[in-house]
A and B are shown apart, each in its own frame.
Chain A
Amino acid sequence: MGTGSQFNSSLFRFACLTALATLALVSIGGLVTSHEAGMAVPDWPNSYGYNMFLFPISKWVGGIFYEHSHRLVATIVGTLVVALTRWLGGRASQLPLSLIGAAELVAGFALLSVAPKLQGAGHFLSGIGVVVLLAGAVWVRNEPAPKPLPALGWLAFVLVQIQGLLGGLRVVLYKNEIGIFHATLAQLFFVLLCAICLLAGPWWQANNGRFSTTPHHGPRWLAALVTAVSVLILGQLILGATMRHQHAGLAIPDFPLAYGKLWPVTDRASVQLYNQHRLETVGTNAITGAQILLQMVHRLVAICSLLGVGLCAWGASRTFGHRAPLSKLAWGWFGLICLQALLGAATIWSNKAADIATAHVVVGALSLAFGGIMSIVCIRNLTLASGNVLPASRTVAESSGFGAPSPATGIHS
């Protein structure tokens, strides 16, 4: 891993910009599903027959506005990620980028000429091939970033392209399942970019991701708990994505009860009656018993997530003291989860108002990213604490104050 001298503030800022752009993309993606606008532009990568960059603004009406904006911001994120890959990989990334770009360009043109049905994928591949080729041609002989950042850059490079392709295929193949996968991958992709920011950041670069110069004897269960809760949140986000991509609106219209009961009746006759009582204002599918159960599971997992994150925050405070930055981070995570639970309830109380439902998606992404970062930090410090420590003269307290000892508890962080 790198040392403090390897910190590159420009690279760090660029990584943060890419992560922020990705969060914006996730937000617009949330707006797309909240407004039921995912299919508002029937063709891809063109928009109503126009090259997407030339689609007149006057035609960005109704659901087109959300879907088309999502596509444009996605191209910005894709370009940023390609540039980030090049930067993280240094000059060694030039050749592979050039080769991949050329291969994508050729494959794109080949698809366009031999498989008219796959024209969309052909345009997509050739378009992104040009961007990758250009990134490979940038003649800056920079050194690669410290390991494992170049590898993470390449992972982001692959994921962003898969993600773009999935988004397009969801439109042209009419598959809700692809939409669920697309939404889940978006969340994981955002976590990856946040991890890149963490590892490229000043604190990690200066301290090798350690709180302390000495091996830490903190409880390993905390690292395991933080990781397990993060995985639980990921599962919760997958449930949420599945609910959104059923295009059936709210499967249960009340909260905290469900159809006036602690556990709703889901027999065929009851579900039919629920559907009859719904006066839809948008074209949604009828709800099913399975969808009602899905929302109930989502509610139960929400409670488990809330308790789990609360336990993590309590554990961090007990281990490191209330004032330790990791404890503060954990309580921040808990605050975020509380906000997320409130937004979940508000989504139901507002009959799935688009802005609230979108905020629920965004805070969900932030909650997972928080969990991901906490997991990396905890795993680094609580389970791998026996090796590769900094010289005794340098502590995080000196360099960034991240893990200063807590005077209140006397526990060294």
Chain B
Amino acid sequence: MKKTCLLAIISLALASSLQAGDISGTVTLKGTPPAEKKFEKKTDPNCGSPEGSTHHYIVGSKGELANAIVSLKGVTGKSTGSSAAPAMMDQKGCEYSPTILAVQTGQKIVVKNSDQTLHNVHTVPGAGAGNKEINQAQGPNAPDLTYVASTPENFLMFKCEVHPWMFAWVSVFDHPYFAVTDKDGKYTIKDVPDGKYTLQVMHRKAAPAASAVTKEVEVKGGNITEDIALDAK
């Protein structure tokens, strides 16, 4: 009887320690963002539309902010990147899609070329970040390119010098607890183990890494919702 009780207590303790929940919510932008800039794409007739526009702020009618990166701050050494599904990045109409991506260290980033033109895929890590700078050619119908970041970094740049208006940013974490907001400003960080955390929100323009907005949260045996507002600069 004693043995059974002890086993039951241990099982209960283990189960409770393994409990996890999702953190989800909406990121919004307060204030009016600056107008996006137009650029010409005429130097390559294979790019489709002769004109494009920047996508620094993608904001919904109620201020829902896309492309904000929400993550848990201070969590390290938990990367499952090597077994995670590859993150996809496409080059279409001579623009990157998506322009903001978040991955884990060791996770593959697969770069596809859907255009009927030449691209060069050039990664430009920040000074001292430790990730590898590469510059590879990718022609039409060429095999996908793969890039793996080895160290955490905020906003690692991918760019194409054939089409200088083409650039995207990839944030690299050494844990799986992050998400990028969709066009409705929504995010979900899945399976966060119970505990107290600092939730941080970064946006390339509204909240760069050095001034990321943070919020203390606690996951306790279930899902929680945290909405966060950023100020337009």
Contacts and interface: CB of A to CB of B under 8 A. Distances in A.
Interface stretch (B36-44, B58-66, B182-190): B36-44
Contacts of B217: none
A174 B159 CA distance: 14
Q: Which among B36, B44, B137, B206 has the highest number of chain A CB atoms within 10 Å?
A: B137
Contact of B167 (A61, A62, A276, A282): A282
A285 B124 contact: yes
A35 B163 CA distance: 9
A148 interface: no
Q: Which 9 A-B pairs have the closest CB atoms?
A: A283-B167, A283-B159, A40-B161, A61-B44, A62-B162, A282-B164, A42-B135, A276-B233, A281-B39
Interface of A: 35-43, 48-49, 59, 61-65, 67, 171, 174, 268, 272-273, 275-277, 279-283, 285
Contact of A61 (B136, B137, B162): B162
B165 interface: yes
19 contacts: A35-B164, A40-B162, A41-B137, A42-B120, A42-B136, A48-B137, A61-B118, A62-B163, A65-B43, A171-B135, A174-B133, A275-B208, A277-B233, A281-B165, A282-B39, A282-B164, A282-B165, A283-B124, A283-B165
A279 B37 contact: yes
Contact of A39 (B120, B139, B167, B233): B120
Q: Do most interface residues of chain A lie in helix, strand or loop, or is the interface mixed?
A: loop
Contacts of B167: 280, 282-283
Interface residues of B, number: 36
B132 to A, nearest CB: 10
A40 B166 CA distance: 12
Given A42-B137, A280-B54, A37 B233 contact: no
Given A39-B161, A42-B136, A283 B166 contact: yes
A276 B122 CA distance: 23
B137 A273 contact: no
A215 to B, nearest CB: 57
B139 A48 contact: yes
Contacts of B36: 279
A281 B208 contact: no
B165 A273 contact: no
B211 interface: yes
B233 A63 contact: no
B56 interface: yes
Contacts, number: 91
A174 B37 contact: no
Contacts of B233: 273, 276-277
Contacts of A64: 118, 162
A39 B135 contact: yes
A114 to B, nearest CB: 25
Given A49-B137, A275-B208, A63 B164 contact: yes
Contacts of A36: 161, 164
Contacts of B78: none
A38 to B, nearest CB: 7
B215 interface: no
Contacts of A272: 208, 210-211
Interface string B162-183: 1111110000000000000000
B46 A61 contact: yes
A283 B34 contact: no
B114 interface: no
Given A37-B164, A42-B120, A283-B167, A62 B43 contact: yes
A276 B120 contact: no
A276 B210 CA distance: 11
B9 to A, nearest CB: 52
A39 B122 contact: yes
